[in-house]
Structure 1
């Protein structure tokens, strides 16, 4: 291994450490607790080292969001692969999505509520975000119904799931009715 390859590997490892530490700190104390000074202390590097990887907190949030998008896509695909039939795949997708939001609140917040400097639904949208949407589209496109654009249907269904996840987390929807909401959403929107 060349010196340059070793340095690139070490740089990538430091970036992973910064992102993992930011994520852990945000999950335990919230995003307000994530500062470059606190991250530098936790990973035992100087703030200039942090800034050599990320221009600031916004880019760190973006990196956490991209990591989360990849994890959510994998969770949705795993859940839908284990389901039999289109309707069951949609139920599995909805549960996987909502479970991800509950298990990873700070990551979910980074993905959809904080400004991580990421473009959505544009040509320069990062691949992990495109793939997360594709994971939803794979199962939802087949239940959109005749004459309904699969992408538009997926956006609408996703918006409903996001609303449910966000409102439940904020205490505005009682979590004990999640299953009934999922059933209503699947029964009313999907055509199978």
Structure 2
């Protein structure tokens, strides 16, 4: 291994450490607790080293969001592949989405609530975000119904899931009715 390759590997490892530490800190103490000073202390590097990887908290949030999108896409595809039939796949996908949001609130916030400097629904949208949407579209496109644009249907279904996730987490919707909401959403929107 050349010196350059070793330096690139070490840089990538430091970057992963920064992102993982930010994510852990945010999940335990909230995003307000994530500062470059605290991250530098936790990873035992100076703030200038941290700034050599990220220009600031916004870019760190973006990196956490991209990691989260990759994880969400994998979880959605796994859940949807386990279902027997289109409706069962959609139900499994909805449960997986809501479960991911509930288990990873800081990551979910990084993906959808905070400004991580990421473009959505544009040509320059980062690939992990496109993959997460595609994971929804692959299953939801099956149940959109005749004459309904699968992408628009997926956006609508995603918006409903996002609303359920955020309103439940905020205490606006009682969590004990989540399963009934999922069934109602699938029954009303998923045409098979």
Query: Normalized against structure 1, the TM-score is what?
Result: 1.00
What's the counterpart of residue 5 of structure 1? 5
- 1:80 Cα deviation (Å)? 0.7
- CA deviation map 1:118-177 (0-9, x unaligned): 000000000000000000000000000000000000000000000000000000000000
In structure 2, stretches of 5+ residues that fail to align are none
What's the counterpart of residue 32 of structure 2? 32
CA distance in 1 between counterparts of 2:76 and 2:190 reads: 17
CA distance in 2 between counterparts of 1:168 and 1:26 reads: 19
1:44 aligns with 2:9: no
CA distance in 1 between counterparts of 2:66 and 2:51 reads: 19
Q: Please list, as runs of the form range in 1=range in 2, the aligned pairs for 1:146-185 lying within 5 A after superposition.
A: 146-185=146-185
CA distance in 1 between counterparts of 2:183 and 2:95 reads: 10
What's the counterpart of residue 66 of structure 2? 66
Q: Please list, as runs of the form range in 1=range in 2, the aligned pairs for 1:124-135 lying within 5 A after superposition.
A: 124-135=124-135
CA distance in 1 between counterparts of 2:160 and 2:49 reads: 41
CA distance in 2 between counterparts of 1:191 and 1:79 reads: 19
- 1:12 Cα deviation (Å)? 0.1
List structure 1 segments (4+ residues) > 2 angstroms apart after TM superposition: none
- 1:9 Cα deviation (Å)? 0.1
CA distance in 2 between counterparts of 1:187 and 1:54 reads: 44
What's the counterpart of residue 116 of structure 2? 116
CA distance in 1 between counterparts of 2:190 and 2:77 reads: 18
In structure 1, stretches of 5+ residues that fail to align are none
What's the counterpart of residue 88 of structure 1? 88
- 1:20 Cα deviation (Å)? 0.1
SS across alignment from 1:173 = coil
CA distance in 1 between counterparts of 2:80 and 2:183 reads: 16
Query: Normalized against structure 2, the TM-score is what?
Result: 1.00
The alignment's C-alpha RMSD in Å is 0.3
